[in-house]
Chains A and B, each alone.
Chain A
Amino acid sequence: SPTNKFLHCLLLVHSHNSTRHHDYCVLGAGPAGLQMGHFLSKSQRDYIILERNSGPGSFFNIYPRHRKLISINKIYTGRRNREFNLRHDWNSLLSDRPDLLLQRVSRELYPDADSFPRYLSMYVKELGLKVQYGVDIGKIRASETESPRGRGYILTDQRGLDYTCRVLLVSTGLWDPQKVQFEGSDLVEGYESIPVDPEEYKDQAVLILGKGNSAFETAQSILGRASRIHLYSPSPVRLAWQTHYVGDLRAVNNELLDTYQLKSLDGLVEGGLEDIAIVRNGEDEKKRSGRKKKCRSSGKEKRGKLFLTLSELLDSSDGKNSSKVTATNLPVYHNDNFSLRQPYDRVIRCLGFRFNFSIFDGSARPPSSEGARGRLPGVTAWYEGRGTPDLFVLGTAAHSRDYRSSAGGFVHGFRYTVRAVHRVLELRYHSNSWPSIKLSISQLQSWLLRRVNEASGPYQMFGVLGDIILLRGSHCEYLEEFPLQALPQFSSLSGHQLSKHGLLVLVLQYGLNRTDSLGPGRAESEWTRAWRSNFLHPVLYYYDKLPTERDMRHRPVGWPLPRPKAVHHMIEDFLTEWDGPISHSQPLRRFLEHCLHTDLRAFYAESCFRFSLTNRKPPLFCRQGYLRKHGVVRNRQLWQHAHEAGLMPGGQDSASPDTDPAFPDYLTRAGASVSSAINLDF
Chain B
Amino acid sequence: MAWFICVVILLLCSKSELCTTGNASKLIEHTAAHFFEKMQSGKMYFIYFGKQVNPTIGLFIEQLEKSADVLEDYGISVAKVNCTNEHIAKYCTGEKLMKKVYLFRGGNVLKSFDTDTVFDVNAIVSHVLFTVLFDEVRYVHTIAELQSVERAAKGKADIVLGHVQVLGLPEHRALMETAFVYGVKYQFVLTTGGPVLTNMGVEDISSLTAGLWFLHCKGASQSQHSDSCPHTALRRALTTLHIYTFLQLMEAPLVSEASVEPSEVNMVHSHLQVPLLFLFSQPHTVALDRVTAQTLAWRLRGQVGLVLIHRESPDVKIPLEYNAAYRLPGEGSEVKYLILNNLEEVIDLFRDESTPEEEEDDDNWATLDVLDDEVAESVYRDRGQSLDMDAVTELTADTFHSAVAESDYTVVLFYVKWDAVSMAFMQSYIEVSESLEDADVSDVELAVLDCGEWTDVCSAQKIRSFPTVRLYRPQEPSQPYQGMLGTESLNRFIMLSRLVSPVLLSSPDEVTSFLEGDMYQRHAAIAPVTVLGLFSSTADAGVPVFKEAAKALRGETMVGLFADRQAEIWAVEYSVTLPAILVSRGPTGQTEAHSLNLSMPDQLVTHIQRALLDTFATVIDGGHSAHLMKVHMDQIQTLKTEIESLKAHQQKEKHYLRAEIQATADALVQSQAALMESRAVNDTVEEGEERDGVTIHARHTCELWNSTSDRQTQHTLPFKCLGSLKNVLVFERKAIFLCPFKMASN
Contact = CB atoms under 8 A, between A and B. Distances in A.
Q: Does B associate with A?
A: yes
Interface of A: 79-84, 98, 437-440, 442-443, 446, 449-450, 453-454, 528, 579, 581-582, 584-587, 589-590, 601-607, 609-610, 612-616, 625-635, 637-642, 644-645, 647-648, 650, 652, 655, 657, 664, 666, 669
A642 B421 CA distance: 13
Interface of B: 364-365, 368-369, 371-382, 385, 396-397, 416-421, 424-425, 427-428, 431, 451-456, 464-466, 482-489, 631-632, 634-635, 638-639, 641-642, 645, 663, 666-667, 670-671, 674, 734-735, 738-741, 743-744
B381 A645 contact: yes
A638 B372 contact: no
Contacts of A626: 738
A606 B740 CA distance: 11
A657 B645 contact: yes
B488 A637 contact: no
8 contacts: A81-B452, A81-B455, A83-B455, A449-B419, A606-B743, A614-B671, A634-B486, A645-B374
A449 B485 contact: no
Given A579-B418, A633-B487, A610 B372 contact: no
Given A635-B487, A638-B427, A629 B740 contact: yes
A581 B376 contact: yes
B431 to A, nearest CB: 7
A394 B365 CA distance: 47
A604 B368 contact: no
A36 to B, nearest CB: 22
A631 B484 contact: yes
A82 B738 contact: no
- A-B complex: 3 closest residue pairs judged by Cβ atoms: A633-B486, A579-B418, A641-B378
B452 A453 contact: yes
Contacts of A669: 364
A652 B364 CA distance: 30
Nearest to B458: A450
Contacts of A440: 464-465
B381 A641 contact: yes
A610 B374 CA distance: 14
A634 B396 CA distance: 28
A602 B454 CA distance: 25
Given A609-B739, A638-B379, A638-B424, A633 B484 contact: yes
Contacts of A82: 455-456
Which residue of A440, A606, A633, A657 has the most chain B CB atoms within 10 A of its CB atom?
A633
Contacts of A449: 416, 418-419
Contact of A613 (B374, B425, B667): B667
A449 B741 CA distance: 31
A84 B452 CA distance: 9
Contacts of A648: 374
Which residue of B374, B431, B740 has the most chain A CB atoms within 10 A of its CB atom?
B374
B418 A632 contact: no
Contacts of B453: 79-81
Contacts, number: 199
A426 B452 CA distance: 30
A339 to B, nearest CB: 51
Contact of A629 (B369, B417, B424, B484): B484
Contacts of A664: 372
Contacts of B396: 80
B482 A635 contact: no
A582 B371 CA distance: 7
A605 B741 contact: yes
Nearest to B377: A645
A603 B374 contact: yes
B375 A630 contact: no
A601 B372 contact: yes
Given A633-B489, A641-B382, 12 more contacts: A98-B397, A443-B464, A453-B418, A585-B420, A613-B670, A626-B738, A629-B482, A632-B424, A638-B378, A638-B424, A645-B381, A666-B368
A209 B431 CA distance: 70
A528 B376 contact: no
Interface majority SS (helix, strand, loop, mixed), chain A: helix
Contacts of B417: 579
B377 A641 contact: yes
Nearest to A83: B455
Nearest to A582: B369
B368 A614 contact: no
A59 to B, nearest CB: 31
B7 to A, nearest CB: 38
Nearest to A624: B465
A637 B431 CA distance: 12
A450 B451 contact: yes
A439 B372 contact: no
A315 to B, nearest CB: 64
A459 to B, nearest CB: 14
Nearest to B738: A629
Given A603-B374, A632-B425, A80 B418 contact: no
A669 B456 CA distance: 41
B425 A581 contact: no
Contacts of B670: 613-614, 616
Contacts of A635: 424, 427-428, 431, 486-487
B671 A634 contact: no
A601 to B, nearest CB: 4
Contacts of B380: 581-582
A610 B635 contact: yes
Contacts of A581: 371, 376, 379-380, 418, 420
Given A446-B466, A669-B364, A605 B376 contact: no
Which residue of B418, B421, B635 has the most chain A CB atoms within 10 A of its CB atom?
B418
B464 A437 contact: yes
B462 to A, nearest CB: 9
Contact of B376 (A586, A616, A630, A637): A586
Contacts of B381: 641, 644-645
A183 B657 CA distance: 88
Nearest to A638: B378
Contacts of A439: 464-465
Contacts of A650: 634-635, 638
Contacts of B485: 625, 630-633
Given A83-B455, A633-B485, A650-B638, A607 B374 contact: yes
B456 A637 contact: no
Contacts of B364: 669
Contacts of A652: 634, 744
Given A626-B738, A642-B377, A645-B377, A655 B638 contact: yes
B632 A613 contact: yes
A510 to B, nearest CB: 23
A605 B484 contact: yes
A64 to B, nearest CB: 33
B421 A632 contact: yes
B373 A601 contact: yes
Contacts of A631: 484-486, 741
B667 A642 contact: no
Contact of B666 (A616, A630, A634): A616
A440 B421 CA distance: 15
Contact of A446 (B378, B419, B454, B671): B419
Contacts of B486: 605, 631-635
A613 B735 contact: yes
Contacts of B632: 613
A603 B376 CA distance: 9
Contact of A630 (B482, B638, B671): B482
A613 B735 CA distance: 8
A84 B427 CA distance: 27
Nearest to B431: A635
A449 B663 CA distance: 37
A615 B374 CA distance: 18
Nearest to A630: B482
Which residue of B371, B373, B417 has the most chain A CB atoms within 10 A of its CB atom?
B373
A645 B379 CA distance: 11
A632 B464 contact: no
